[in-house]
Amino acid sequence: MEAECAEAGAEGWLLVRVHVPELNVQKSLQFPKDQLVWDVKQQCLAALPKPQDLNKRET
């Protein structure tokens, strides 16, 4: 899994890009700079496909 973080257009926001090449998944998410790292991590994980979704994609 690769992750990249950059400042988004609006001041006080961060853009997080997550790329999982093994799953062919890319996501871009925006977070306020003052948001807790734990909350950002949880939201990033929640945005990724669930295992049952991946099984459907393979068939």
pLDDT at 23: 84
- Side-chain-facing half-sphere of 31: CA atoms under 13 Å: 18
Q: For the whole prediction, is pTM greater than 0.85?
A: no
pLDDT at 3: 59
Residues 7-24: tens digit of each pLDDT:
555 678 888 888 888 888
The DSSP 8-state label assigned to residue 48 in this structure reads S
Query: Is 47 within 8 Å of 29 (Cβ atoms)?
Result: yes
